[in-house]
Structure 1
């Protein structure tokens, strides 16, 4: 890291679910306005995340969210869609970073220097902040989808492959926000298609 670097943290939420988009967050924190309690979003309660997110929006020097749709995930694959969401998040920043700190060990191309950090969302405050924004934004989006497709229970499991989701998928088949290329969805969709023939 150079002394004058403008550093943004980058992280995603929703890589593993069977349904819904993937969301990435990018955050440039203001060193003069530290935010207490930042951590890996998965280690925080939903209540704590929802308290921290507005503080990040208010106090960060810049923040951006980027999305990749289920269709883009199916077309590109989840890794490339994840990178696309991260690029969109960084491009949405009102400041141009010179260095992006990305959680994990898979470096996307972001138009600036990139350093990956395994477990970075629990170590670097800017990555923690990005993690929290991505998670809360995606959860809110899945609540919207729950209103459209209430029978799948998206409000509870956010599209992850829990038993209730698996049972709903088997019973109803996939809905428009399911990731058709993911094996559990593909398997059910194939059975549904062959039954209809």
Structure 2
């Protein structure tokens, strides 16, 4: 009789129902039924990833015509934190299935490990990529919304190959290239999702460096967001050069200085 371990190993090699699996349904062993149910759940989950992937591809494809060949997606990371830059990225993906990007989603929906895994995949697949850091000084000078818009524009302009069309996540940019502002674009467009990953990971890596430069604030843990840990650190250690002076409660703290 085939062991449960052998059955699991055999199931792990299959992505579709095989005739020999019919016999597994008749196997009275609990371990066999558990293995079969686990395999079924895995296939359902994988099919969901496939469906979402091709829906994102179809969304991007809907903007393409004879004159629009290269579509760039752009997104941001870090509009809300009390410290650190806002980072934007732009990505042009090829006009194919991009199958190695199956599972790519809005950066907020993926674990840290998954985001890191996708960096190399995106860089290997993309026609062109660009990342732009907008400094705290610019954010304080012109406000976070305008700083983000200008950073997205810079990301697009820094692409080695100019796109024919731009899909921007919930933003209208001052560019001469035709564009669409897509609400929740990182969940709809594969190009925007790819940009969201590059922006998020680039910012996270920067904040990890700032954690070393400014110890005690926990920048590697909260990435500059206004957590209890972060606020307590500001009260105890003071404001650093990478804190946004126009953001509350820092603005009020400095005014009482």
| TM norm structure 2 | 0.72
Residue number in structure 2 paired with 1:148: 213
Residue number in structure 2 paired with 1:163: 228
Correspondence 1:14 to 2:14: no
Q: CA deviation at 1:177?
A: 0.2
Q: CA deviation at 1:2?
A: 4.3
**TM alignment of 1:48-63, pairs within 5 A:** 48-63=114-129
Residue number in structure 2 paired with 1:122: 187
Aligned residue for 1:10, secondary structure, equals: strand
Equivalent position to 1:44, from 104, 110, 122: 110
Structure with higher RCO (Cα < 8 A, 6+ apart): 1
Residue number in structure 1 paired with 2:15: none
Number of equivalenced pairs: 191
**Contact (CA 8 Å) 1:173, 1:189: kept in 2 or not?**
no
| CA–CA separation in structure 2 for the residues paired with 1:174 and 1:190 | 12
Q: RMSD of aligned C-alpha atoms? A: 1.1
Correspondence 1:77 to 2:143: yes
Q: CA deviation at 1:33?
A: 5.5
Uncovered stretches (5+) of structure 2, i.e. residues with no partner: 1-62
Uncovered stretches (5+) of structure 1, i.e. residues with no partner: none
| TM norm structure 1 | 0.93
Aligned residue for 2:131, secondary structure, equals: strand
